[in-house]
C-alpha cells in the first residue's frame, strides 16, 4: 500500500503545475483491413481459404501546462480482432527539451529501440504449435509490469543523432500460484542515426533483465540483448537484426533458454508500389520441468516472407503477401508449419 501511495503522490505533484482547463485536445485515428488468407499446412490437410478482418478506432488526448510540460494519453474504443482485445495506454509527459517520460505502464526501453526489419505484406501467416517456443521477434525478452516508467531522451543526447531510453518496473503484488509472475524488470535502449554518403544509417540496440517468482520460490526471469541496423539509400532499404537471451513464460509456466533470433529484410519503393522480402531464423530450448536450468528440447522456426503493396488512394493500400514457415518442435519436425498467402486492402485515417 505504501508503494502505491508514494507513486500516486509523485504523479499528482507532477501534474499539479497544470492549469485547470475545460477540455484537452483530442485526435482520432483508426483503420480497417480485410482480405482473404489461404493456408497450406505440412500436415497434408486440405488447403483452406478464410476472410481476415480487423477494425480499430483510437483517441489520443494531449494538453500542455503553463510550464511547457506536455501531458498525453490514449485509449482504444474498438478492436474487432478477438485475438488482441482492447489495448491500454499509460500517461506520457513531454518536456520542453524534447525528452519524454511514460509514468504508468511505461514498457521496456529495450523494446523501444529494436530495428524494424522488412518482411511481407498483409496478413499472411500460420499459427504454429503453442509448445514451439522459438520467438520470431527481436524484443522477446523485454518485459515490464504496469507499475513502471520509461524515460526517452531528446534527440542528439550527448552526441548528434543519438537517442537513449531507460525503464524500470516493480512488483504489482499479484500472487504467484501454479504460474510464474513477473516481479520486476529494467531495460536500456539506444538508437543512433547517421549517414554514409547517400545512405542514411540507423543502428539500434537494447539490453533488459527481469525477475520472476512462482508459488514456491524465485525463478530466473527474462533477459537478453538485441542489436540491428537499417540502411536507406534512395528507395532501397536493407535491414538486419539479432537477439539473444532467455525468456520466462508465465502460463503455462515454461523457461526458454538460449533463444536466438536473426532477421534480415529488404524493401524497395517504386512510385506507388512497395516490394518487400524478409527471412527470420529462430531457435530456443524450452524446459517445463526445471525453471532454473537449461537442457530442454530444441525448437526452431525458419520464416520466409514476400510482399507487394500498392497505394491505391490516400489512406487506401492493397496488399499481396506470402509466408512460408519451416518448424521443429522438441527436436522433431513440426507439421504445423507450411505456407500461406494473403490478398486484401487496408483503409486508415
Q: Could you read off the pLDDT tens digit of each residue along the chain, which spans 349 residues?
A: 444 444 444 444 444 444 444 688 999 999 999 999 999 988 878 889 999 898 888 889 999 998 899 999 888 876 555 455 455 678 899 999 999 999 988 889 999 999 999 999 988 888 888 778 888 899 999 999 889 999 999 999 999 999 999 999 998 887 766 677 888 899 999 999 999 889 999 999 999 999 888 766 667 788 999 999 999 999 999 999 999 998 887 777 777 888 999 999 999 999 999 999 999 999 988 776 555 555 667 888 999 999 999 999 999 999 999 999 998 887 777 777 889 999 999 999 9
Four-CA torsion 106, 109, 115, 119, nearest 10 degrees: -40
Which phi and psi (to 5°) does residue 16 adopt? -65, -20
Q: What is the pLDDT of residues 327-343, one digit of tens each?
A: 888 777 777 788 999 99
By percentage, how much of the chain surpasses pLDDT 90? Answer: 52
Domain extent listing, the chain: 28-348
**Cell numbers for 88:** 491500454
Give the residue carrying C-alpha cell 536500456: 188
Q: What is the pLDDT of residues 120-173, one digit of tens each?
A: 998 888 888 877 888 889 999 999 988 999 999 999 999 999 999 999 999 888
Around Cβ 70, how many Cβ atoms within 10 Å? 14
Which phi and psi (to 5°) does residue 11 adopt? -70, -45
Q: Residues 290, 287, 227, CA angle at the centre, nearest 5°?
A: 115
Sequence-distant (≥ 6) Cβ neighbours of residue 183 within 8 angstroms: 170, 171, 210, 211, 212, 213, 218, 221
SS3 content of the chain, % helix, strand, coil (to 5): 5, 60, 35
Beta-bridge partners for 168: 149, 186
d(C-alpha 317, C-alpha 346), whole Å: 5
Q: Rg of the Cα trace of the chain?
A: 22
**CATH code at 28-348:** 2.40.160.10
> Is residue 255 within 8 Å of 270, Cβ to Cβ?
no
The Cα-based distances of 234 to 214, 231, 237, 270 in angstroms read: 51, 10, 8, 10
Sequence-distant (≥ 6) Cβ neighbours of residue 240 within 8 angstroms: 115, 117, 228, 229, 262, 263, 264, 265
> Is residue 335 within 8 Å of 41, Cβ to Cβ?
yes
Amino acid at each position: 500500500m505504501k508503494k502505491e501511495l508514494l507513486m500516486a503522490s509523485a504523479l499528482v505533484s507532477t501534474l499539479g503545475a497544470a492549469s485547470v482547463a475545460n477540455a484537452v485536445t483530442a485526435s482520432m485515428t483508426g483503420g480497417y483491413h480485410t482480405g482473404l488468407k489461404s493456408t497450406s499446412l505440412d500436415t497434408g490437410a486440405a488447403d483452406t481459404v478464410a476472410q481476415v478482418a480487423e477494425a480499430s478506432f483510437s483517441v489520443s488526448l494531449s494538453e500542455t501546462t503553463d510550464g511547457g510540460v506536455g501531458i498525453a494519453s490514449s485509449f482504444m474504443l474498438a478492436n474487432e480482432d478477438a485475438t488482441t482485445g482492447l489495448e491500454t495506454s499509460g500517461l506520457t509527459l513531454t518536456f520542453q527539451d524534447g525528452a519524454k517520460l511514460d509514468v504508468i505502464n511505461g514498457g521496456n526501453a529495450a523494446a523501444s529501440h529494436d530495428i524494424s526489419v522488412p518482411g511481407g505484406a498483409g496478413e499472411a501467416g500460420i499459427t504454429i504449435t503453442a509448445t514451439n517456443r522459438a520467438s520470431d521477434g527481436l524484443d522477446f525478452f523485454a518485459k515490464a509490469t504496469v507499475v513502471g516508467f520509461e524515460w526517452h531522451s531528446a534527440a542528439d543526447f550527448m552526441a548528434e543523432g543519438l537517442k537513449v531510453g531507460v525503464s524500470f518496473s516493480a512488483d504489482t503484488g499479484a500472487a504467484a500460484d501454479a504460474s510464474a509472475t513477473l516481479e520486476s524488470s529494467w531495460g536500456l535502449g539506444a538508437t543512433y542515426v547517421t549517414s554514409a554518403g547517400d545512405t542514411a544509417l540507423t543502428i539500434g540496440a537494447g539490453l533488459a533483465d527481469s525477475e520472476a517468482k512462482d508459488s514456491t520460490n524465485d525463478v530466473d526471469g527474462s533477459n537478453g540483448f538485441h542489436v540491428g541496423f537499417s540502411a536507406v539509400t534512395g528507395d532501397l532499404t536493407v535491414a538486419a537484426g539479432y537477439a539473444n537471451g532467455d525468456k520466462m513464460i508465465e502460463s503455462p509456466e515454461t523457461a526458454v533458454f538460449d533463444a536466438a533470433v536473426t532477421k534480415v529484410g529488404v524493401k524497395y519503393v517504386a512510385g506507388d508500389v512497395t516490394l518487400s522480402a524478409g527471412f527470420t531464423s529462430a531457435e530456443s530450448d524450452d524446459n517445463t520441468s526445471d525453471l532454473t536450468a537449461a537442457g530442454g528440447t530444441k525448437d526452431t522456426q525458419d520464416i520466409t516472407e514476400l510482399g507487394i503493396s500498392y497505394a491505391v488512394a490516400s489512406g487506401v493500400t492493397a496488399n499481396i503477401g506470402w509466408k512460408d514457415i519451416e518448424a521443429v518442435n522438441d527436436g522433431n519436425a513440426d507439421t504445423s508449419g507450411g505456407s500461406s498467402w494473403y490478398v486484401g486492402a487496408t483503409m486508415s485515417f
